Each structure stands twice: as structure tokens, then as C-alpha cells.
Structure 1
Amino acid sequence: MAVERMELMTVAGPTDNIEEVLRSVVLLEKVHIESSIKKAGEGSPTLCMLEEGEGEMECDIRPYSEFEDFAELEKKMTIIKGYFGIEFHVDKKLITSECTYKRCRQELEWLYSKIEPLHKEVVDKEYRLAALLEFKDSIKYTGALDVTIEELEQMKYFDFRIGTLSKEKRLKLKESYDSITAAIFHIGSSEKEEVYLAVYPDEIEEDTDKVLKSLNFHDIQIPPEIKGNPGQAIAAIDETIAMLEGEIGSLKAELEGFREEYGEELLKAYNMLLVQKQIERMKRKMAFTENFFFLTGWVPRNDKALVLESLEKADERVVVVWSRGSKAQSQSLTRPPTKLRNNWFIKPFENLVKMYGVPSYDELDPTTFLGITYMLLFGAMFGDVGQGAVLFFTGLYLALKVEKFKAYGSILTRIGASSAVFGFMYGSIFGFEHVLPALLVRPIENINFVLVSSVVFGVILLVMSFGYNIVNSIKQRNMKDGLFGRNGVTGLIFYIVLLVMIYQVLTSADILNVTVGVAMAVVLIALMVVREPLSNIIMKKRPLYHESPSQYYIESGFDIFETLMSMASNTISFIRVGAFALNHAGLFMAFLTMASLMGSPAGSAIMIIIGNIVIIALEGLIVFIQGLRLEYYELFSKYFKGEGREFDPVKMSAE
């Protein structure tokens, strides 16, 4: 409904308790931090007096320079998190005065020193276990090998390799026997592979390796502890596997014990790290003397008492000074951020406003106007009970189940409901025009009424946008645009005069005398042309022109032409509302015609379903975009600049 009022908070306090003060600011999540270096220069007497009270004769104001790197600690925390298999989450309740960052860091370092060796040992043993299982699986079919591993390893002039080939490569191996200077023994078979023993002289090892690689020969690595023939090796492997599995189980049980005992402490350390990272970011925007710190930030006026209470609770020695947002802005200290305050029904439309820009602190929040008018525009262009209900329930699902699209799901529920309401007015349900009675009008049967009504509705919205701009200009003390500008009072009267005169021509009505109307238009155009010097004379500002008078009047002349074109195009542009309402009905009629040509009830039903899907997905998207276009180009261009910056309080964040 409005932009929240802000106050600029400046805090000075002793550095010996800075961590506690800044932690309270982070946990409050109510303070938008500003750079304090410039402000400290302007308010340095306060800090200097504090320093003199401590016996210091000189006051040296400086930025924060002792930066802390959290990369190594975050890496260790991520490693431990992976070992424990737990998920971190932000929880402010875990941050207590007893839990300091220094203590959490020490505990984390200790925990890492205990867990890392255990995990490394588990990985090593699991690697050995996997190698043994692979070897066992490979040699269990080598019953034909009547030789021990030791005998093969003790060969003086020969070397050997045991490996597998796919059954397809077996034939290729036979074809290559003549080119291989090695003895190849088939020693076993499995379902998919054949096991071979290759014995070859040492001096041709390289040539043999090339041939075997060309056959995709997969070597079986023999663990060093394996001895004897295949039968004896399998028995030894089984014994070693059992031993390794027992050792791995014991190590994992020990790790599980650490997880149960220190899992909560790890989560606490994670949250403390999030707080400390924000504290470090805050320090980089603060100013310091030898013994004191200086903090500047914006606070919503409604949260002022809560913030002050929290700061004094953290350290009763802090000095807090407040400046109202408008006063701070007029003194050029800093521009207040914008925090929008809207009820639950309108709040989702803040996302559409922010896509265009954030309202300035001294600018009206357009969210309510956009939200209401956008629902009306969408519903008028896409009026259908059934299709609107589909959009509503789709949006409801996204809002409740898909966190990433929650905001846009909420928008979808509202425009879907608007579509359903207009569907009752049009008497349309899933495209059918003769199932429900039309409470207002059937667009396809009243084309002229629909088109004219859409233009009239557009005129009403444009007049309201003039009003928004006038109020914004009053808030910003901008007489030039608010009183004499093309979107101000003069422009509004000029627009109404033009509308009345055009209406008289089209309907032969007698509302305003033509001579009087032309005279008013000429005077209003003249006021818009001289708006800058006229407003400067009234406000007693000099110089009268920000550029040479000749250049100013040339630009103003072209500006009047642009104003006329803009008023005409903005007004006519709203005819698209009626056009899309007609298009919505006409498009379904096309699918209905195709359904009648299908030749069977089932085919007709499928075509009607396809038609509704296409209309909801394709036309729904087009209408969504066209509604935004009307809001952004026809309305926002008259009253909304969006040059503000969003209120972004310091807070715990996982990002």
C-alpha cells in the first residue's frame, strides 16, 4: 500500500564489544547498512570527542583493514558435512551469547582433525576392498591355471599379464596369434568375458602391450598379498575381505558416533559462520578510530524501538543518533532505500513492479494500482471460467509446492480468478459460449461495444496515471513536471480537452464550445512549452534555463509533438484489450470447427482438449505479456520512474 518511512541510524561504540553489537544487528534483520566512511568524516567530532574522553589527543578515522578469509573453514565444514551426510539450514535460535565464533571455529578445527583421518582410512580400505572383489570376480573362473602366483612372479627372463577379453574380441585374438610374440593361455570363462594369461619375454613387453591394447585387453591387478594358485588365492581373498569389511564397519560406527555427538554442534558452527561472514561484510562498510567504531544504516521507522532496544542490550555504552529519511536525503547524506508494504493480496505484484524498477523513497508505490488494473486487464482479455480455473489451480500448486516459483504462482492464482470472473460476465466456459448465461456481454456478438469499452477503460486508467504523477511531483517538490509538465496538471487538462473535442466530433454532442476548446488547448500547450522558466520564476530559482533559450524552445516544440503522439497512441493502444477478448472467443471457434470435422465423438473431444491446452498455454502467455506492456509503456511511462534502491537488510543467508 505504501513505501515504509525510514530513519538513518548512526551508531558509535567501543570496539572491545563490537562483535556482540554487530551480531545483534545481523539477527534483527532490520538494518540496511550504508558505508560509514563519508558519514564518519562529517560526524567525526562525535568520534573524536569519544577518543578524547579516552585520553587520546588525535583522532584518526580509518576503514576496516583486518579482513578474514573464511574459505578454508568453509571447505572443512563442507567436507565434514559430506562425511556426516547431513543438510545445513539457517536457524537463528542456535546463535546464543555463549556460542562465540572463536569457540565454534576451535571446535570445528578439532572435529575436523578427528574425523579426517578416520574418513581417509575408510576410503583407503574401501578402495582395497573394491580391488579384492574385482580380482576375486575375475579369477574365480581360472580353474585351468595350474600354477601359483609366486611362480609367475619369479620368472627371470619373462613377464606375464592376466586379463580379460570380451567374447567378440576372442576371435580377433585368434587372428592375431601370428603377430604376437607371446604365449597366450585361455584359463577361464565367465558369462560375458574370457580370461587369458599372457607370458612374453621382457624385451618385447612394449610390443606385446600395443597388441593387447588394440584388443581392449583388460588387466586384472593382482593384490600384493595374494599368493598360491587360484583356489588358494580365493580363500586368502575371502579372509582379507571379511577382515576389511569388519574394519570398515568399525570405522563407520566411530564416524556415526561423532555425527550423533557433534552433529548439532556442527549445525551451530555453520550458523555462526553465516553470522560472522555478515559481520565481516558490515565491518568493511564501517569507520574506526583507535578505540571506537562508527556504523550507519537505514531502519524502518516502525522497527526503530526494537533496533534501539537490541543495540542497548548488546552494549549499553553505544551512542545512537537518528535522522529522518527525508531530512537525511535533503542534506545529501545518503538516499533512503525503499521497503514496500503491501497486504497479502497485492504483495505478489511487487515482483512485476521490481521487474521495471524499484520505487524511489519519495515516490508512490504503484503496486496496488498495478495489481488491480493488471487483474482487470488480464481478465478482460482472457475471460473464461474453465480456463481461468485451470490457471488458478496451477498457480495454487506452484505457490504451495514449488518454492522457486511461489511468487509467480501467487500472481497466477489472482489473474486466474480474474479470468474466471470475467468468464461469468462473458458466459464462457472452456471456450463454449452457450453453456452459461452472459452476465454482461458476449464479446463475439457485441464487437463494437467491446472495442469502445476497452478504449474508455484505457482513458480512465490514463487519467488515474496522471493523478499518480501529480502526487509524485508534489512529494518530490517538482513544480515543473507536476504543474506544467505533459503528465502533470496542465497535461491532464489538455488531455481531457482533446478527448471532449474528439467526442464532440464523433457524436455531434455539444459539451465544450469549439473556440473555447481551441483557446484552452493553445494556452495549455504554451504552459507546457515554458514550463521550465515559468516554474523557476515561481520558485525563484536561477538560472531560468538549464541550457541556451533557443535550444530549450526547439526541444520543447518537438516535445509538444511527441506529447500529442503519445496521448493518441496510449489511448488507442488499449483497444488491444477488446481485440484479445474477441480473439479469445474466435480462436476457440476455429478449434470447434476442426472438432466438428473429426468424424467421431472421441476425435472431437480430443481436438477440443487440445484447443483448450493451446489457448491456455499460448494465448495465456501472450495476454500476460500484453497486459504487462500496457502497464509498463502506457501507464508506468506517465508516473513511475523506478529509480530507487531496494531495502536490503543485513541478515543470515546461506548464499
Structure 2
Amino acid sequence: MRWREALEPVVMQRVALAACSDAVRDVLVQAADEGTVQLDDAPPGPDGAGLATPAARRLGRLQPGAPPSPALSTHPPDLDRWERLGRIDLIAGEAAVEQRTAQAFTRSGVSALVGWVPADRLPALADRLATCGGAVVPLARPRGVQPPTLLSERGASRDFAPLVETYATVPYADVNPSLVAGLAYVVMFGMMFADAGHGALLLAGALVLRWRPMPWMRAGRQVWLFLAGAGLCSIVFGALYGELFGPTDVLPTLWLDPMESPVELLAASVGVGGVLLAGAYALGTVNRYREGGWRRAAYAPTGLAGATLFLAMVAAVGGAYLGSGALVAVAVVLAVAGLATAYAGLLARSGGGGAGAAEAGVELFDLVVRLGSNLVSFARLAAFGLTHAALGAVVWEGTTGLWSGGGLAVVGAVVLFVVGNAVTFALEGLVAGIQALRLEYYELFSRVFDSEGVPFRPWHVPITTEEVPC
């Protein structure tokens, strides 16, 4: 199912590329052009094979600095002729192939190199290598070896993936959080950048990037979905707050006025933060289970132990607000269970003993303090939403004041409205983008991830389409 594929890294298959020793170069040329294999880096032999191949030595002499983008030829290598023709790119490509050839395992005239291939691309690779006498042999995944991670290249997960990849490489066993992380980001952005007019401008810019990009805009096309989602959420929250290029009274206030109800807005922002933290703990617990089973999921501070402490805090706040002794009692029981479980996990990780017990105690105290501070940190959703509303109100009051003066003051009112909204748009857009990213990384991702994966980096050297004259 597509939605399941979007929530998991691409399935990787351990393989060996095998061929007769005299066909290894042809197999490697085709594999490099296909660009779907990440080959393991084997250490050089005892004689230093692979460190200074003929093509590598020639390349170092001809191009002592950074080599050009390498290319490959399907014809047998002729380094002298390529040098005469100035085809340094072919020499660089041949150097890469020779290095890989030197790393091959060879027994009884058969050579093999081991690596990883996305499982869905395995048939195409096997068919291509078969044309030059090679074979792709599926292997069992070695115990204790983590496959490289390639995130889904389909749909919104692909567009939101840079948000996750700039923080960490998703471990292969973990859920791919790109989609939910992107949705959380645009919701937080919209709550701080809450103005239907400004949001409409963002949405329009996103649609231009997607459908009618100018040549200088094409580099930003990959972020169009971020802008569209942020613009749409800004429109929604702007309508809830009654903001359209400031408090112009064009839109009715569907929920609350930030300037008149800052306490309610603050409570709502902390509530949104609680929901997002609960989701992060749920995703973190699933990841800990996928990484190490129920024991790891139960004892990890980013797993059930931390989630239990979070529920205890929510129950305590709810019990105090509602005056419910039963809810407070539930909070106490959850807190004791969460603290005991988290301490046991931290103690096991520290190695035990007196020093380990002290270290676990300090880490447990830090866990509790961070839990409260992380929740309160979401108050910035209200603070920056209130700042946006205040700037809009200042611009609108100045505009209406000048407009009432008549004459040239009307021109000044128009200029103030346009320039003021442009400054507010730019300033608040930058602030909201940074603050939403900060909340995503420090408050949410710190619970989703407990380790880092290995990025999938396929070996790719294209075959040149130019004819090399004899």
C-alpha cells in the first residue's frame, strides 16, 4: 500500500555483483551507469592494490587538483589515446572502476563485490548486468549490520524529506517521519504566521513555483509544498483570528482575537504542543520497538518510560485544573511507574555500579526538567502569533489614521499599508519559519530519534554518449 511505503524507508537488499574476472570491468561500467548500487569499501590488499592504479596515477599527473566529473566508456580502456584526446573525464572514470576492481573478492576466476540495492530496482539491475556476463546474487543481511537508508521518493514524503534529512539520517529500522513532520511544521508555522492575506500570498507563490516557475525560481521548486502548506495553514488560522492584512474587519473572528485573548491563545498553544509531544512519544516508542524489541521500547526515555512520565504530567495538570483528586492520584501512579522504568533503563545503559547509579540519577532529573520545559516551549506559538497580530494592528491603525486626513495623506496611507505589510510579511515569515524549525528539531525530533542511520549513496558514473574516435 502506498501510505505504508511512505512511512518506511525504501527496502534494501544485500547483494553480490559476480562475474568472471575478465568481465568485471564491463559489469562495473554497467552498474556505475545504472547508479542503484552502494558497494562496500573493502580494504586494499597487502600489496597496496587499489591505492595507485594505472589510471589513478595518470590522473594525478594530468590533473593534480580536483578531477573533472568522471565518465565511462563501454570500449576497452586506452589511457594513452584518451590522454591525447584530452578526455580526462574518461581517465577519472576508469580510475574509479580500477579501484573497485581491485577491491573485488576473487576465487577460482570469479570476482564479486558486495553492496546494497533498493529491492524494487533489483530486477532492472540484474537484467542489465546479465547482458555483459554478470549476475546479481541476493544475500542475507549480516547480523548487526544496518542497511543504508533511502527515504521514499513518492508523494509528499519526498517533498518533506529535506526537513528530516537536515536533522539526521533516519535509521533503517525506524518509521520515516517526513510526512507527519512536514504537517506538524506547517501547522506550527501557520499558528505563528496567522494572517489570511499573508497566507494567500504564500500559497500563490507556492503555486507559481510549482506550475509556472521562472528560470531563476527553479532552484526553489523543491520547497513549493512547504510554502503551500504554510500558506494554507496561515489562511486557516488567520480566519480563526479574524486577520486579513491585519485587523481590517474584513473577516469575522471565528475563534478569538489574539490581542484581546492572549491567555486563551497561550493555553491553546501549549495544548497544541502537548498533542505534538504525545505524537512524538508514540512515534519514538514505535521506533524503539523496531530497533530493539519490547525491552528497548519499555525502558528508553524516548519510549514508553518517557511517554508514561509525559502522561503523568498531563494528568497532574488536568487534575489540578479540574480539581479532581482521582486524576491527581492517577498522575502519581504514572509518575512513579515512569520514573522507575526510566531509571532502570538509564542505569542499565550507564553500566551499573555507584558511578552508574549517580549518572542515571542526573540523567533522570534532566529528563523530568526537559519534559516540562519542552512543553512550555510551545508557548512561543502564541507569543509569535501575538507579535504578528500586534504588528498588523500597528500598520492598520497608522493606515486608517492617515486615510482620515484626506489629500496627500491618503497616498501616505496606501504606502504605509503596502510597505508595512511587506515588512511584517518578511520579518514574521522568517521568524515563524525559524521558530517552527526549532520546535521541530529540539522538542519533537529529539524524541523520535535515538540514533542515526547511514545514508544510501549509490555509486554512479555515467557512460558517455559521445563517440571517442579511434
State the TM-score, normalizing by the size of structure 2.
0.83
Is structure 2 residue 34 aligned with structure 1 residue 28?
A: yes
1:246-325 matches, within 5 Å, as: 276=94, 278-280=96-98, 282-283=100-101, 285-287=103-105, 291-315=109-133, 318=134, 320-324=136-140
Q: Distance in 1 between matches of 2:305 and 2:292?
A: 16
**Conserved? CA contact 1:380–1:422, under 8 Å:** yes
What is the aligned counterpart of 2:191 among 360, 363, 380? 380
Q: Verify: 1:561 aligned to 2:376, yes or no.
A: no
Distance 1:291 1:74 in 2: 34
Deviation at 1:479, TM superposition (A): 4.8
Residues 26-425 of structure 1 correspond to what in structure 2 (within 5 A)? 26-37=32-43, 63=50, 65-68=52-55, 69-70=58-59, 100=75, 102=77, 106=81, 109=84, 276=94, 278-280=96-98, 282-283=100-101, 285-287=103-105, 291-315=109-133, 318=134, 320-324=136-140, 327-328=141-142, 330=143, 332=144, 334-397=145-208, 400=213, 401=215, 402-425=217-240
Offset at residue 471 of structure 1 (A):
0.8
The aligned counterpart of 2:272 is: 457
Residue matched to 1:593: 397
- Aligned counterpart, 1:636: 445
> Letter of the aligned partner of 2:25 in structure 1?
E
Which structure 1 residue ranges, 5 or more long, are not aligned? Answer: 42-59, 79-87, 113-268, 534-543
In 1, are the aligned partners of 2:346 and 2:360 still within 8 Å (CA)?
no
Higher alpha-carbon Rg: 1
What residue is the counterpart of 2:302 in the other structure?
Answer: 487
Give the drift of 1:532: 5.6
* Partners of 1:623 and 1:602 in 2: CA distance: 31
The aligned counterpart of 2:339 is 525
Give me the CA root mean square deviation.
Answer: 3.4
CA shift at 1:470, angstroms? 0.9
Q: SS where residue 166 of structure 2 aligns?
A: helix
1:578 equivalent among 363, 366, 382 = 382
Q: In structure 1, the residue corresponding to 2:120 is in which secondary structure?
A: helix
Q: State the alpha-carbon separation in 2 of the partners of residues 560 and 358 from structure 1.
A: 27
Inter-partner Cα distance in structure 2 for 1:3 and 1:525: 33
Aligned-partner residue type, residue 159 of structure 2: P
Q: Does 1:9 align with 2:47?
A: no
> For the residues of structure 2 that align with 1:34 and 1:294, how far apart are their CA atoms?
11
Number of equivalent positions = 444
* 1:624 matched residue in structure 2: 433
Report what 1:539 is aligned to: none
Q: How far 1:632 moved relative to its partner?
A: 0.5
Q: Is the 8 A contact 1:29 1:650 kept in 2?
A: yes
Alpha carbons of 1:105 and 1:622: their partners in 2 closer, same or farther (altered >3 Å)?
farther
Conservation of the 8 A alpha-carbon contact between 1:379 and 1:422: yes
1:313-367 C-alpha deviation (Å, 9 max, x unpaired): 221xx4543234xx32x2x4x4311100053323222112111111111222121
Label 1:390 to 1:89 Cα distance change in 2 as closer, same or farther (>3 A): farther
**Percentage of matched positions with identical amino acids:** 25
Report what 1:229 is aligned to. Answer: none
Q: Distance in 2 between matches of 1:530 and 1:101?
A: 63
Contact 2:59 2:88 in 1 (8 A): no
Q: How far apart are 1:106 and its partner, in Å? A: 3.5
- The Cα shift of 1:395 comes to 4.0
CA contact (8 A) 1:34 1:285 kept: no
Please give the TM-score of this superposition, normalised by the length of structure 1.
0.61
| C-alpha distance 346-426 of structure 1, shift in aligned 2 (>3 A) | farther
Shift of 1:289: 6.5
SS at structure 2 position matched to 1:4: coil
**Alignment partners' CA distance in 1, 2:435 and 2:373:** 15
Q: Answer yes or no: is the 8 Å Cα contact 2:149–2:172 preserved in 1.
A: yes
Q: Are 1:395 and 1:413, in contact at CA under 8 Å, matched by a contact in 2?
A: yes
- The answer for the alignment partner of 1:253 in structure 2 is none
Structure 2 distance, partners of 1:280, 1:435, is: 70
- 1:573: Cα distance to partner? 0.9
Tell me if 1:611 matches 2:429.
no
Secondary structure at the aligned position of 1:444 is classed as: coil
Distance 2:314 2:373 in 1: 13
| Amino acid paired to 2:137 | V
CA contact (8 A) 1:338 1:645 kept: yes
Aligned-pair CA distance for 1:637? 0.9
Deviation at 1:274, TM superposition (A): 7.3
- What is the Cα deviation at residue 414 of structure 1? 3.0
1:480 offset after TM fit, Å? 5.2
Residues 417 and 277 (structure 1 numbering): CA distance in 2 closer, same or farther, change over 3 Å?
farther
Deviations 1:554-587 (A, max 9, x none): 1222222212211111111111112222211111
Query: Which SS does the other structure have where 2:259 is aligned?
Result: helix
- Separation in 1, partners of 2:425, 2:12: 43
CA separation in 2, counterparts of 1:280 and 1:423?
61
Query: Quick check: 1:356–1:642 contact (8 Å CA) kept in 2?
Result: no
CA displacement at 1:487 relative to structure 2:
2.4
Distance 1:105 1:467, change over 3 A: farther
* 2:461 is the alignment partner of 1:652: yes
Contact 2:399 2:417 in 1 (8 A): yes
CA distance in 1, matches of 2:176, 2:118: 16
Taking the aligned partners of 2:60 and 2:356, their CA distance within structure 1 comes to: 57
User: Does the CA contact (< 8 Å) of 1:23 and 1:275 recur in 2?
Assistant: no
Query: Which stretch of structure 1 is more off in the superposition, 302-311 or 436-445?
Result: 436-445
Residue 116 of structure 2 aligns to a residue whose secondary structure is strand
Q: Which ranges of structure 2 fall in alignment gaps of 5 or more residues?
A: 1-5, 464-470
Alignment-mate amino acid for residue 633 of structure 1? Y
| One-letter identity of the residue aligned with 1:313 | T
User: Matches of 2:451 and 2:345 in 1, distance apart?
Assistant: 23
**What are the superposed Cα offsets for residues 378-434 of structure 1, whole Å, 9 maximum, x if unpaired?**
111112222123223434555634343332344323322332333333332222441
Q: Give, in angstroms, the shift of residue 273 of structure 1.
A: 6.3
Q: Which amino acid aligns with 1:407?
A: Q
